[in-house]
């Protein structure tokens, strides 16, 4: 059977990519794309791929005409902070960088944020209530919560917020598949600007230590962990981008899913203790990060197919999260009491498993839990608009009445 190539540019894909993922699982769970990359879309295979310890370093990519054309247009400018963040490094560098950030990003440090998170959520809900009984859920809650939290943790000056929002919005394009050269160059410029801003904040923090994550990270560096200045900047930029561009989607997509399933929303209202499992099921049902990537350094056998060395492979997290073979015939349904919801791969798996999962879960739980509790008449007040992204796919406008 000839399989039609995966086409994320088909009309309607970013509004609802799930039929395309179902087709891929049925026709080619391990699929070779004519543009030179592969995409793996079934649960067992995605897990195997992520846990196999494959590379994330682009230098292992074999030459390919489609990729090389982009490279040529972009020149030697690296699109992701010189590839210095832990997300782009293999062991032993990955292990060293991740250990350093894990040292300050402890479960205790995250749990201590709960009062702060609750305060930010309640202020956002007050705004929604005051604004004539509604507004845009993304502008009022889904964006400001994770953005304010990561800003406070890292200590970025509040005056820069709008510019940082623009820059991180550009930077996440480096996580999109198939970037075109024109975008690639804008992403590069955004990365340079944000890195320069972060470097300035780090210098200021060195002279004026405070009780925040950034100061702790600088101290860990100064305590003898070998870390260059550029590496420190890259980890902070990564935390910035990963710290809010993802969680925004958890909250906005999660609320959209609930509002489209009134029976499930009613079940959550009847039993607020369901919120922990509800957040897991919402993460599974509509993954805030749809894809992650690996690079083979040797032929890699998965699902009975051999992927050659030097290949760019997309792990289809959202495809895995909706695979009937693993989840059963109701895989496409939202069921907040699903027993194994936590087995989703929305935070990845293996060595690069999301470092911020505990923080994302806390923010999701408090934001969605308190929103639902406070507004018994919460409803959609217009059409949902999607952000047009393939990977960090999310609802960009969610008009609600409260």
Among 13, 37, 143, 347, binds ligand HEM (CB under 6 A): 347
| 49 scored as a contact of ligand HEM (CB under 6 A) | no
The full length of the chain comes to: 402
- Angle of helix 144-154 versus helix 213-222 axis, rounded to 10: 40
- Select the residue whose beta carbon is closest to ligand HEM and give its number: 356
Question: Which of 130/226 has CB closer to ligand HEM?
Answer: 226
Strand 30-32 and strand 37-40: pairing? antiparallel
State the minimum distance, in angstroms, from the CB of residue 128 to ligand HEM: 21
**Site membership for ligand HEM, residue 355 (CB under 6 A):** yes
Distance CA 142, CA 360 (A): 12
Nearest approach, Cβ of 232 to ligand HEM (angstroms)? 13
Half-sphere exposure of 50 (CA within 13 A, CB side): 28
Cβ at position 376, least distance to ligand HEM in Å = 26
Residue with tokens 């320069």: 196
109 binds ligand HEM (CB under 6 A): no
Q: Are 247 and 360 in contact (CB under 8 A)?
A: yes
Regarding 288 and contact with ligand HEM (CB under 6 A), the answer is yes
What pairing do the DSSP bridges indicate for beta strands 30-32 and 305-307?
unpaired
**Residue from 243, 254, 319, 394 binding ligand HEM (CB under 6 A):** 243
Residue 55 or residue 264: which is nearer to ligand HEM going by CB?
55
- Candidate residues 205, 344, 352, 393; the one interacting with ligand HEM per rule CB under 6 A: 352
Q: Which helix (H) or strand (E) holds 397?
A: strand 395-397
Q: Are 279 and 365 in contact (CB under 8 A)?
A: yes
Closest to 174 (Cα-Cα) out of 187, 190, 192: 187
Residue list 13-42, contact with ligand HEM (CB under 6 A): none
239 binds ligand HEM (CB under 6 A): yes
Q: Of the candidates 117, 128, 218, 289, which one interacts with ligand HEM according to CB under 6 A?
A: 289
Which region among 114-122, 180-188, 218-226, 236-244 touches ligand HEM (by CB under 6 A)? 236-244
Question: Is 313 a residue that touches ligand HEM (CB under 6 A)?
Answer: no
Tell which positions 208-227 bind ligand HEM, by CB under 6 A.
none
Pick the piece of the chain touching ligand HEM (CB under 6 A) from 127-135, 183-191, 196-204, 287-295. Answer: 287-295
Distance CA 252, CA 386 (A): 10
* Binding map of ligand HEM across residues 152-181, x = CB under 6 A, - = no contact: ------------------------------
Cβ atoms within 10 Å, residue 77: 14
CB-CB contact of 36 with 61 (8 Å): no
Contact with ligand HEM (CB under 6 A): which of 81, 134, 135, 348? 348
Distance of CA 11 to the CA centre of its chain: 23
Least distance (Å) from ligand HEM to the CB of residue 49?
Answer: 10
Which residues are CB-contacts of 232 (< 8 A; sequence separation ≥ 6)?
202, 217, 218, 221
- Do residues 218 and 184 make contact, with C-beta atoms less than 8 angstroms apart? no
DSSP bridge pairs for 37: 312
Give whichever of 53 and 209 is closer to ligand HEM, judged by the CB atom: 53
Q: Which residues bind ligand HEM (CB under 6 A)?
A: 50, 86-87, 98, 150, 238-239, 242-243, 246-247, 250, 288-289, 292, 346-348, 352, 354-356, 359-360
């Amino acid at each position: 059977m000839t399989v039609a190539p995966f086409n994320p540019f088909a009309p309607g894909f970013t509004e609802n990519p799930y039929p395309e993922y179902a087709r891929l699982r049925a026709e080619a769970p391990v699929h070779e794309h004519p543009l030179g990359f592969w995409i793996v879309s079934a649960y067992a295979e995605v897990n195997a791929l992520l846990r196999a310890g494959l590379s994330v370093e682009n230098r292992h990519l074999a030459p390919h005409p489609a990729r090389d054309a982009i490279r040529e247009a972009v020149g030697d400018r690296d699109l992701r902070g010189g590839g210095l963040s832990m997300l782009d490094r293999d062991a032993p560098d990955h292990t060293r960088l991740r250990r350093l950030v894990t040292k300050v990003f402890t479960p205790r440090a995250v749990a201590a944020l709960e009062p702060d998170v609750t305060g930010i959520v309640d202020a956002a809900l007050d705004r929604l209530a005051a604004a004539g009984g509604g507004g845009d859920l993304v502008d009022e809650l889904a964006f400001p919560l994770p953005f304010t939290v990561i800003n406070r943790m890292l200590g970025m000056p509040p005056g820069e917020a709008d510019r940082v929002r623009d820059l991180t919005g550009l930077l996440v394009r480096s996580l999109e598949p198939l970037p075109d050269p024109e975008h690639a160059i804008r992403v590069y410029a955004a990365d340079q600007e944000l890195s320069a801003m972060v470097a300035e904040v780090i210098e200021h923090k060195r002279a004026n230590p405070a009780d925040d994550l950034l100061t702790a990270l600088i101290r860990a560096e100064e305590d003898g962990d070998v870390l260059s200045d550029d590496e420190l900047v890259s980890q902070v930029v990564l935390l910035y981008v990963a710290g809010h561009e993802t969680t925004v989607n958890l909250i906005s997509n999660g609320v959209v899913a609930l509002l489209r399933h009134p029976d499930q929303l009613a079940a959550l209202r009847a039993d607020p203790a369901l919120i922990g499992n509800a957040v897991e099921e919402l993460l599974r049902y509509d993954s805030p990060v749809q894809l992650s990537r690996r690079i083979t350094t040797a032929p890699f056998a998965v699902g009975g197919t051999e992927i050659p060395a030097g290949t760019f492979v997309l792990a289809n997290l959202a495809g895995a999260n909706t695979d009937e073979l693993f989840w059963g015939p109701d895989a496409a349904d939202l069921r907040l009491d699903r027993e194994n919801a936590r087995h989703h791969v929305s935070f990845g798996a293996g060595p690069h498993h999301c470092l911020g999962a505990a923080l994302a879960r806390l923010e999701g739980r408090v934001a969605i839990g308190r929103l639902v509790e406070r507004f018994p008449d919460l409803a959609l007040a217009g059409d949902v608009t999607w952000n047009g992204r393939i990977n960090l796919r999310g609802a960009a406008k969610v008009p609600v009445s409260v």
